[in-house]
A and B are shown apart, each in its own frame.
Chain A
Amino acid sequence: MTQPGVQDVEGLLRRLAPQVLGVLVRRYGQFDACEDAVQEALLAAFGQWQNDGIPEHPRSWLVAVATRRLIDEIRADRARRAREDAVTDPEDRYEPGPDEPETSEHDDTLTLLVLCCHPALTPASQIALTLRAVGGLTTAQVASAFLVPERAMAQRISRAKRMIKASGMRFELPPEGDRAERLRAVRHVMYLMFNEGYTASAGSQLQRVELAEEAIRLTRTLHRLAPADGETAGLLALMLLTHARRAARVSANGSLILLAEQDRSLWDQRAITEGLALVEHALASAAIGPYQLQAAIAAVHSEASSAEATDWHQILVLYGLLERIAPNPVFTLNRAVAIAMVHGPLAGLAELAKAEGDERLAGHHRIEAVRAHMLELAGDRSGAAAAYRAAAQLTTSLPERRYLEARAAVM
């Protein structure tokens, strides 16, 4: 065996993590204990495989080690409770062998995703648990991705697992009737995870797990498991088309570069090609939904060779559709921007007044930032400066604050 690289080992472990967890939970139940045991097995493998090479049957290796940890834990637990009554020992049921056929792998991973994204959990818990149980990340990695102490993240994860246990959720796919709703919850968690990574990646000096890339990886998995689902394809397309701009979003000194000013030659063409194909196929073959429409809007930007060449008429039509099928103040705000680009800044400002009334956007810096931009386009420089300053006070992002202060200064 040749010595594998750290990334090879980590990549393999993270792919195998949900499969191994699926095997254990189906055999022994106890999602929470199994999940701990798999984590320990992953950590053991991470150290050992780098030195000794990857075993011939890595999945079986992990299942065997995780099962051993689970047994140890059950025994210790039993001793702790000084309980004598015999439970079937997992050891009696497990016979290690070559990697078993992975026929159930798909169902297991989907079941795990649905379980970790259960609507009873808070979004923060859903994301944390998904990253650990399905993404195969360690608690320390999840904690560093959110810049919180490992202890706090460990608490969130174990609390989420306790809730799953207490609610009596079973390790099986939800009945057909509930499945669409539960898949929708999984997509929402992926979307939040991506946004967290996307907004956090700029200018951060810290070594962090790339949350946006992890969200793409998991959404890709979900798309593979539910290929006919148009909204999952739409979400994956939206992520790819947005992530394709990452190199152009931040300047060398860490400041933000807006879409209109980005160097489009830095956009990742491979991601764009894949995203475009996904969204075209989804729109042509599946029921239309908000992720597909957002991806279609991102696609219009991707297809423009310059900011000036952007087809704002099409974007306006798409935002109109979006507002109709999924009313949301953020879409209203974005639609106001599209109106300003098509019909001029005064029409945009009139539309903005409507979005302002929505209390979900109250105090949000984006309203002021959009107003500032429209006033700037309308030639009202002092009004624009005041709105840029108001937006600067409201944002909690350092690069955004710098950008907005700089705009206010040049007005």
Chain B
Amino acid sequence: MKYMLLIYDNADTRELFFGPEGKALGEEIEALMAELAASGELVGGEALADPAQTRSIRVRNDVPVVTDGPLAEAKEHFGGYLIVDCDSAERATEIAARWPNARFAAMEVRPIMSSGGGQDL
């Protein structure tokens, strides 16, 4: 079963991760990624650049309206994601809990939809 782990930042986490304390946190992340790669659970993932570079796009009456900045002002914003293929939601939750952002901001775990038909209802 595949899950997306959504990594959230807040106003302080970027500074924290890229500041002097960031090295240890980065190593923590690298170790976890290596562990997930070795177990074959890691499907993929990316970190996003600073939210200041966000553009939001809405098409209204066939006209795209582009604004700078994220859709909603929020204390926490989406900072990156990880996709894992693991045995259970509990395992995905366990991985999310070990990602440093869970301690400073938050993580979300969401099952990924499959194109398969499931079982006969």
Contact = CB atoms under 8 A, between A and B. Distances in A.
A152 B115 CA distance: 21
A373 interface: yes
Q: Contact residue range for chain A?
A: 35 or more
Interface in A239-256: 249-250, 256
A297 to B, nearest CB: 12
A396 B121 contact: no
A396 to B, nearest CB: 5
Please report whether the interface of chain A is mostly helix, strand, loop or mixed according to DSSP.
Answer: helix
Interface stretch (A43-51, A288-296, A399-407): A399-407
Interface string B61-104: 00000000000000000000000010100000000000000000
B121 A122 contact: no
Contacts of A250: 117
Interface residues of B, number: 23
Given A258-B120, A258-B121, A366-B121, A155 B39 contact: yes
A281 interface: no
Contact of A397 (B2, B85, B113): B113
A201 B121 contact: no
B90 to A, nearest CB: 12
A88 interface: no
Interface stretch (B7-15, B16-24, B40-48): B40-48
- Of the listed residues B40, B119, B120, the one surrounded by the most CB atoms of chain A closer than 10 A to its CB is B40
Interface string B108-121: 00011111111111
Given A148-B85, A205-B115, A159 B39 contact: yes
A369 B119 CA distance: 12
B114 A152 contact: no
B37 interface: yes
A210 B115 CA distance: 15
A395 B87 contact: no
B116 A152 contact: no
A120 interface: no
A155 B112 CA distance: 22
A397 B39 contact: no
A202 B116 contact: yes
A148 B121 contact: no
Contact of B43 (A149, A157, A401): A149
Contacts of B42: 152
A250 B117 CA distance: 9
A146 B117 contact: no
B39 to A, nearest CB: 7
Interface string A118-141: 000011110000000000000000
B32 to A, nearest CB: 15
A199 B87 contact: no
B38 interface: yes
B116 A204 contact: yes
Contacts of B112: 396
Given A148-B43, A148-B85, A258-B121, A398 B113 contact: yes
A398 B119 contact: no
A383 to B, nearest CB: 17
A153 B39 CA distance: 9
Contact of B116 (A124, A200, A258): A200
A200 B113 CA distance: 12
Given A146-B85, A403-B121, A397 B116 contact: yes
Interface string A381-400: 00000000000000111111
A306 interface: no
B115 A195 contact: no
A373 B121 contact: yes
A345 B38 CA distance: 50
Contact of B38 (A159, A199, A201, A203): A159
A152 B118 contact: no
Given A152-B85, A396-B111, A201 B40 contact: no
25 contacts: A122-B87, A124-B85, A148-B40, A148-B43, A152-B37, A152-B42, A152-B43, A152-B85, A153-B40, A155-B39, A159-B39, A199-B117, A199-B119, A200-B117, A201-B117, A203-B116, A204-B116, A249-B117, A249-B120, A256-B121, A366-B121, A370-B121, A396-B112, A399-B116, A399-B117
10 A-B pairs with least C-beta separation: A202-B117, A156-B40, A155-B40, A200-B116, A397-B118, A400-B118, A199-B116, A396-B111, A399-B117, A152-B40
Given A159-B38, A256-B117, 10 more contacts: A123-B87, A146-B85, A148-B85, A159-B40, A199-B118, A200-B114, A258-B121, A259-B120, A396-B1, A401-B113
